[in-house]
Amino acid sequence: MESISTARRTEDIALDLLKFVASQANVGSKSAGSTGFGLPTSPKSEEQVTHLLELYARCREAVEAPVEKK
């Protein structure tokens, strides 16, 4: 088994990438309150969770992708 103390796990790196991307794209953030008129534009919490899980899977794929050597 490889030493985990010196190297970060890919899951941790993917989670940090997810946090960065989500914060930059305002994914999962709560929208400002509305006056009650009009259609609600914010996605439901279940949809947000699904979207975040899909984004995390994509981040894992990006982190675990083999690096092309030149």
Report pLDDT digits (tens) over 32-53. Answer: 555 556 555 666 888 888 999 9
d(CA 28, CA 43): 9
Position 6 confidence tier, pLDDT thresholds 50, 70, 90: very low
The per-residue DSSP string of 7-61 comes to S--HHHHHHHHHHHHHHHHTTTPPPPP--S-S---SPPHHHHHHHHHHHHHHHHH
What is residue 38's predicted lDDT score, i.e. its pLDDT?
59
Tell me what percent of the residues of the chain surpass a pLDDT of 90: 30
d(CA 65, CA 17): 14
64: DSSP letter:
H
Does 69 have pLDDT greater than 60? yes
What is this structure's pTM? 0.62
Length of the chain: 70
